[in-house]
Amino acid sequence: MEINRQMFKTALAKPKELETGNWNGRLRLVSGFFAAMLALLFLLVLGSAPALHAQLTGTISGTVYDSSGSVIPNATVTLKNEATDDKRDSVTNSDGVFAFPSLLIGTYSVEIQAKGFKTLTQTGIPLSAAESRKLSGLNLTVGGTSETVTVQESSQIIATDNGSRAAVLEAEDIETLALGGRDLSELLKVLPGVTTAPSTGNGPPFNFQNFSAGAGSIVGNGLNANGAPNRGGTSITVDGVDINDPGCDCNSIASVDPDMTQEVSVQTSNFGADAEYGPVLINNLSKSGGAQYHGEGYFYARNNAIAANDWQSDNAGNPKGPASRN
């Protein structure tokens, strides 16, 4: 008993409570000690977790020059989200560089002002998830700040600041491309490197028309990307949250609504360490709304009177089956 008592004295440094023989006090001290250790462990794990925002947001940066090619420090740069009218301000550093990190996906405009130069405005700047877009053509000309030069940004076809390989389906693509069902993952079929996997059982080969939308995702059920394993090689996230069914590494535990999706980003190789999933990552990003009230109404009608037979069934000589999805 003396040995245990001395151990408590040394470890917890509460000699008065230990000398009185109050076992309830000792238990409270031990419980508090372990609770503190658990809290500290939780904070360490939380602090070491990957930064999910890096998969949901992007960065816009650039360097401001004058007409002779010299950098312009202390220029005021205003960034505006064209959909929400949200604005951010920054100032170029001594090298004429500015950067706006952690931006939501969307279309932006940049306004640059400097004393003795005309105001430069660049509009129509698209930004996708995990994209680092460096603006070009930021050359100010001599004049008054009341004069404005407006430049329309052109799409950046090839990223030059990193080696990641990704494909993006935007809201316009989601709205105009044909969907056999209400499964957004079906649109992956239009991307390079995405193929249908052969049947591994006794059932019929995979085809889009016979796929059940109840599974929630075609990935892991007959569709794979970039040669990744049919199951376990592709991760699906919604706004950074993994929705893969952990029981089979297929399907999904949540349905992705095409009408509520702003963008689908498919990263197939060489993406950064901030992406904790892979080797193929499909990230669905929800619409964020805008500054003006808007909405939409729609009605979907699918039946065998207006739908053709699918190629696989027609090639096998199977007749067009009944279908009614309204």
78-117 b/e with 16+ CB inside 10 Å = b?
A: ebbbebeeeeeebebeeebebebeebbbbebbbbbbbeeb
Q: Which CATH number fits domain 56-152: 2.60.40.10, 3.40.47.10, 2.60.40.3140, 1.20.1250.20?
A: 2.60.40.10
Q: Which amino acid is at 221?
A: N
150-189 b/e with 16+ CB inside 10 Å = b?
A: ebebeebeeeeeeebebbbbebeebeeeeebbebbbbbbe
How do strand 97-103 and strand 58-63 relate by DSSP bridges? antiparallel
pLDDT band at 8 (very low <50, low <70, confident <90, very high): very low
Which residue matches tokens 């950067």?
99
Q: Which of 66, 87, 67 is nearest to 75 (CA)?
A: 66
- What digits encode the pLDDT tens for the residues 270-326? 565 555 666 788 888 888 877 778 777 777 777 777 777 878 788 888 887 776 666
What pLDDT score does 209 carry? 53
What pLDDT score does 129 carry? 81
Q: In the chain, where does the domain assigned CATH 2.60.40.10 lie?
A: 56-152
Q: In the chain, where does the domain assigned CATH 2.170.130.10 lie?
A: 165-295
Class of domain 165-295: mainly beta
- What digits encode the pLDDT tens for the residues 164-206? 667 788 888 888 887 766 677 778 878 877 777 665 555 555 5
Please tell me which residue, 118 or 273, carries the higher pLDDT value. 118
Question: Token pair of 26, please?
Answer: 């000792």
Mean pLDDT for 128-142 is 88
CA dist 47 and 191 (Å) reads: 36
Q: Which amino acid is at 276?
A: E
pLDDT band at 49 (very low <50, low <70, confident <90, very high): very low
**Triad 257, 260, 79: Cα angle to 5°:** 150
Please tell me which residue, 175 or 123, carries the higher pLDDT value. 123
Q: Which residues are CB-contacts of 35 (< 8 A; sequence separation ≥ 6)?
A: none
pLDDT band at 139 (very low <50, low <70, confident <90, very high): very high
Cis-peptide, bond into residue 246, ω within 30° of zero: no
CA dist 197 and 219 (Å) reads: 10
pLDDT band at 52 (very low <50, low <70, confident <90, very high): very low
- Lowest pLDDT segment from 23-32, 87-96, 278-287, 295-304: 23-32
pTM for this structure?
0.65
Q: Which of 261, 260, 191 is nearest to 219 (CA)?
A: 191
